[in-house]
Amino acid sequence: MKVETPNSGSPRTSRFDRWSTSGWMTPSLIAIVCLVLALGSYEHSRGNLHRLRAVTTDRVPQVAPAGPGGQDPIRISRTIDKNGRTPEFVSATLLPGRGFNLWQLTASLPGRGEVNLLVAPPVSQAAQILSGADSDDNGSASTSYGGAFLAPWAAQLTGFPAPGNGALQALWQGQRITFPSSAPGSSLSTEGLLLALGADTVKTSALPDGQSAEATFQAGSFSGNWLSSTDITILVELSGQSLDLTMTARNTGTAAEPIGLGWHPYFAIPSGDRANALLVVPSLSLAEPADGDAGTLSGSITPTQGTSHDFLRASGTPLGQISLDNTYLNLHKGLLSDGPIAELRDPAANYGLRVIPLTSNITNLRVIAPADKPWVSIGPNMNVSDPLGREWPNQDQTGIVTLQPGASVQWKVRVQIFALTGTTK
């Protein structure tokens, strides 16, 4: 006879099973979640949650920015056309720690791939070159590479020694302005006071055919060197065929101040064939150079028609073996264009660049092209070189503007890329 143990065929029921089937499980879980949220809100109101986050963040190893001026470079880019038949911009790299210098500008050129259109070392070397020491004192090295933005004046500024501190000074409307010299014992300054400044804010945005980057510099009085306080904003907009550059200066102080804005780019000649590169400058007059210091002017205007400095011809004039360091004035606006058109063409690379000033306050183009270098600088500036100098009897004609408190002035330039002989299959 088989003996059966009581309940041997029935499974043993745990307390969890009984609780989960009793109908209390869901309400209990909801209550627990609500309690956690309530405690979190209470701790947040007392500031403990913020401190907890701070403690957690502090435990993460911090990596110092690799860029010059302690700020990482900013790169904006776009996707190129898969067909690759025409030249088009690809990317722009800017240095927010050094006045938003446009350090690199790359383009896709048919038959050549991606090339850098500005003369500058790799970004990895920028911090070493722009160190703030020796030849980079006051940011001077920024004007030797890429494309430096210039403010509160463009080009050169001369002065006489200021007492005691080794700086220079000049007169503007009866007031003394001080500024650093480009080298000990020199009467020349660096090209503006923005070169070594770091941006206070930087933001990037998407565009229909590319990206934009904007930096704001709360420059104040430029370390006590200027007559009022100034904010500088620089906007760079990259698309397939154009690069738009906009610089705005706003007087945030209580006194009037002189302002001139500009840009100093080093455009490469990708083929290296400098002699056969073509230049177009929309002007038939230039500011006569002064004897002595390079880049300074005599105050006189010289016609260029029929001379070796005449580059007005629309199809371009070969650079040959001539060296240039000229300030071209009285710019001619192109037919049906938004402004005067300067061009650099490289026939061997089947590509060209246009530099188009879009604001009428850009009074001149400073063109620099050493005979032994494969680059050309076309600098669209508001003011001529040494705008506060004695060689200019009327400073109102130098391009420097008087910016009243609360007022703003804008400088805008477009750079376009194009093919010389149509599309490439």
Written as six digits, the tokens of 246 are 């906009």
Opening angle at CA 304, ends 302 and 309, nearest 5? 115
Residue 410 token pair: 């804008």
The tokens for 264 are 């100093």
Per-residue pLDDT of the chain (425 residues; tens, 9 = 90+): 333 333 444 444 555 455 455 555 555 556 565 554 554 544 444 443 333 233 322 333 344 456 899 999 999 999 998 787 899 999 999 999 999 999 999 999 999 999 999 999 999 999 999 998 888 888 999 999 999 999 999 999 999 998 877 789 999 999 999 998 887 778 888 899 999 999 999 999 999 999 999 999 999 999 888 999 999 999 999 999 999 999 999 999 999 999 999 999 999 999 999 999 999 999 999 998 887 555 678 888 999 999 999 999 999 999 999 999 999 999 998 777 889 999 999 999 999 999 999 999 999 999 999 999 999 999 999 999 999 988 887 777 899 999 999 999 999 999 999 999 865 44
Q: What is the dihedral of CA 46, 49, 53, 58, to 10 degrees?
A: 40
Listed in sequence order, the residues at least 6 apart from 73 whose beta carbon sits closer than 8 Å to its beta carbon are 66, 67, 93, 94, 95, 96, 103, 123, 126
pLDDT given at position 225:
87
Q: What is the pLDDT of residue 18?
A: 52
> What token pair was written down for 58?
């502090």
Q: How many residues does the chain have?
A: 425
The domain locations on the chain are 70-418
CB atoms within 10 A of CB 255: 14
Cα–Cα distance measured from residue 412 to residue 356, given in angstroms and rounded to the nearest whole number = 9
Rg (CA), the chain: 31
* pLDDT the model gives residue 33: 52
Q: What is the pLDDT of residue 292?
A: 54
CB 115, CB 107: distance < 8 Å: yes
User: How many CB atoms are closer than 10 A to CB 130?
Assistant: 27
Short-list 241, 262, 293, CA closest to 367: 262
- Cα separation, 188 vs 191, whole angstroms: 9
Which pLDDT score, from 0 to 100, does residue 48 have? 38
What is the pLDDT, as a whole number, of residue 184? 78
d(CA 223, CA 229): 10
For the domain bounded by 70-418, which CATH number is listed?
A: 2.70.98.10
Strands lying side by side in the sheet with 175-179: 160-161, 168-172, 175-179
Instruction: Name residue 324's beta-bridge partners.
Output: 369
End-to-end CA distance of the chain: 99
Closest C-alpha among 373, 370, 379, 385 to residue 415: 379
Pair 337, 330: CB distance under 8 Å: no
What pLDDT is stored for residue 5 in this prediction? 38
